[in-house]
Amino acid sequence: MNGPHDLGGQHGLGPIAPEKDEPYFHAEWEKRALGVTLSCGAFGAWTIDESRHARECLPPATYLSASYYEIWTRALEILLKRHGFVTQAELDAGHMLEIGTEPKRVLKAEMVAGVLARGGPCDRPVEAPPRFAAGDRVRTKNFNPETHTRLPRYARAKMGVVEAVQGSFVFPDDNAHGKGENPQWVYTVVFDGGEIWGEGADPMLTVSIDAWESYLERV
Amino acid sequence: MSGHHGHGHDHHHHDNHFTDMEARVKALETVLTEKGLIDPAAIDAIVETYETKVGPRNGARVVARAWSDPEFADWLKRDATAAIASLGFTGRQGEHMRAVFNTPDTHNLVVCTLCSCYPWSVLGLPPIWYKAPPYRSRAIIDPRGVLAEFGLELPAGKKIRVWDSTAELRYLVVPERPDGTEGFNEEQLADLVTRDSMIGAGVALSPEAAR
């Protein structure tokens, strides 16, 4: 979707403002927000792609003014309601009011080290060989789906060169919407800065994205 | 639940976000705990992991090893996930690692324009600026301007490669080894490797600067 999250190349969003000796957390609630988000991810009720899509579906004004832990928390509330784990009435009351969905798994303290160390690999085998090889010239697709995609707007309908075949991975555009993992080959595709940004682009700049095979056409 | 933070307010001032969010997260954690869906001790364990165990010191050890051991550097280039795992760093948001090496010709910079993808297994939790709109919007179009805000002026003739983490690959920048570090052991080298240098938002410290 062409949502507020797709920020590459936008102007006017202010200075970077790196903070010297930045702490890991700026408030206690951020710690809890991180832990609650990861704990709920362990339910196995939604995928990382569905959670990313929930975040990018927040209203643009909210998205752009919120800290990232706020974005996570707001999206988590939506996911928990969507999947029947909590109701808005419960969130308003701050207490349990009814029995909800049973998760596949509840993350207990003793499971944390193992779960974090395993992570959630997204590589999946595909039977077809990769359509492209390093050195191939490709054009990215031009499309504007209202659904989830990982092809940023700035990189649509652009000419680039495949630099590497990176393996085959879950296809987020489908997986975010419960349409299955449908893995595809992923390629690192490199573009000249001028191809992406045109006049005035830094002549020494190249930009790369990691693109699923269906984002690419041979030229 | 304390009443004075309240619910349903629709504040538009940043100052109020913190107290609103405190109440909101507290409500969420309480509801989920009452339902038996989360274990508050698991949350403590997650926080402790990223406050004390998984942070940029991991990545610094990877870089120091690559600087010291050409065979390891070569392995890191070919199969970063396995090379990094050999030092004990695996897991969440580091499942599919790639290492990209700065050279005298080229400076690498990593961004996630679409969200906040970051190599947690080697760098820990991302800093606020990495997840915020200014960096995500500008790193990809004006990396020189962005680097200048970090105090890094790249020579005009140096190429810049910006890697947008649009898929599940996570990138670790291996900065150039600073001059004057001949004979340094891995521990001493790791002290020169900053978090920002492994994102590409900086370079490794000189021995003088690290002192």
DSSP state of B3: S
Name the DSSP class of B200: T
Domain residue spans in chain B? 14-51, 55-210
Contact present, B116 and A69 (Cβ < 8 Å) = no
Taking contacts as CB-CB distances below 8 angstroms, the residues of chain B near A76 are 28
DSSP B35-54: TTS--HHHHHHHHHIIIIIS
Around B132, how many Cα atoms within 13 Å sit in the side-chain half-sphere?
15
The alpha carbon of residue A210 and the mean position of all alpha carbons in its chain are separated, in whole angstroms, by: 13
Active site residue B137: no
Contact status, residue A156 vs residue A142, Cβ threshold 8 Å: yes
Tell me the two tokens of residue A62.
């909210």
Q: What is the pLDDT of residues A7-35, one digit of tens each?
A: 999 999 999 999 998 999 999 999 999 99
Active site residue B165: no
Q: Which two tokens stand for residue A205?
A: 């700049």
Verify whether the Cβ–Cβ distance B91 to A116 is below 8 Å. Answer: yes
Helices (H) and strands (E) in chain A, counts: 8, 5
* Segments making up each domain of chain A, as ranges: 28-118, 137-218
Across the interface, whether the CB atoms of A207 and B162 are under 8 A apart is answered yes
CATH architecture of the domain B55-210 equals Alpha-Beta Complex (3.90)
**Total-model pTM:** 0.94
Residues in A 130-149 with any Cβ partner in B closer than 8 A: none
CB of A11 within 8 Å of any CB in chain B?
yes
Cβ separation of A16 and B24 shorter than 8 Å? no
Please say if B121 is a catalytic residue. no
Spot the catalytic one: B2, B68, B116, B206. Answer: B116
Could you list the pLDDT tens digit for every one of the 211 residues in chain B? 333 444 444 444 445 555 899 999 999 999 999 999 999 999 999 999 999 999 999 999 999 999 999 999 999 999 999 999 999 999 999 999 999 999 999 999 999 999 999 999 999 999 999 999 999 999 999 999 999 999 999 998 999 999 999 999 999 999 999 999 999 999 999 999 999 999 999 999 999 988 8
The dihedrals phi and psi of B74, each to the nearest 5 degrees, come to -65, -40
Cα atoms in the 13 Å half-sphere on the side-chain side of B64:
23
Chain B partners within 8 Å of A111 (Cβ): 42
Residues of A in contact with B137 (CB under 8 A): 7-11, 13
- The residues that bridge with A217 in the sheet, in sequence order, are A139
CATH pick for A137-218 out of 3.50.50.60, 3.30.479.30, 2.30.30.50, 3.40.50.2300: 2.30.30.50
- DSSP assigned state of A128: S
Distance (Å, rounded) from C-alpha B58 to C-alpha A141?
A: 38
Closest Cα in chain B to A70? B21
- With CA atoms as reference, the chain B residue closest to A28 would be B22
**Integer Cα distance of B176 and A182 in angstroms:** 39
* A163: pLDDT strictly greater than 60: yes
Nearest CA-CA distance, residue A146 and chain B, Å = 15
Distance CA B99, CA B78 (A): 9
What class has domain A28-118?
mainly alpha
Closest Cα in chain A to B44:
A35
With residue A23 as reference, give the H or E element that holds it. Answer: none
DSSP E strands in chain A: the ranges are 137-140, 159-169, 184-192, 205-212, 216-218
Which member of B2, B115, B137, B206 is catalytic?
B115
Contact B27 A120 (CB under 8 A): no
Alpha-carbon dihedral angle through residues B73, B77, B83, B89, given to the nearest 10 degrees = 100
**What's the one-letter identity of residue A116?**
L
What does the alpha-carbon distance between residue A65 and residue B17 come to, in Å, rounded to a whole number? 10
For A111, residues 6+ apart whose C-beta sits below 8 A from its C-beta are A42, B42
Quick: pLDDT tens for A38-81. 999 999 999 999 999 999 999 999 999 999 999 999 999 999 99
Other beta carbons within 10 Å of A175: 21
Q: Which two tokens stand for residue A74?
A: 């707001």
Q: Count CB pairs under 8 A between chains A and B.
A: 287
DSSP lists the bridge partners of residue B56 as none
Mean pLDDT of A87-107: 97
Q: Name which of B14, B20, B38, B52 to mutate to probe chain A: the one with the most chain A Cβ atoms within 10 A of its Cβ.
A: B38
Alpha helices in chain B (DSSP H): 14-34, 40-48, 56-68, 70-78, 80-85, 120-123, 128-131, 133-138, 143-149, 186-190, 195-199, 207-210
pLDDT at B16: 52
Q: In angstroms, what separates the C-alpha of B85 from chain A's closest C-alpha?
A: 10
CA atoms within 13 A on the CB side of A131: 14
- The verdict on a CB contact (< 8 Å) between B39 and A91 is no
Minimum mean pLDDT range among A19-28, A31-40, A168-177, A197-206: A19-28
Of A176, A179, A187, whose CA–CA distance to A213 is shortest?
A: A187
User: Residue A1 CB: number of other CB atoms within 10 A?
Assistant: 15
Tell me the one-letter amino acid at A45: A
For tokens 């939506």, what's the residue? A78
Chain A nearest CA to B79, separation (Å)? 11
Which chain B positions have a beta carbon within 8 Å of A152's beta carbon? Answer: 113-114, 164, 166
Pick the residue from chain A with its C-alpha nearest to B96.
A121
- For residue A165, list its beta bridge partners: A187
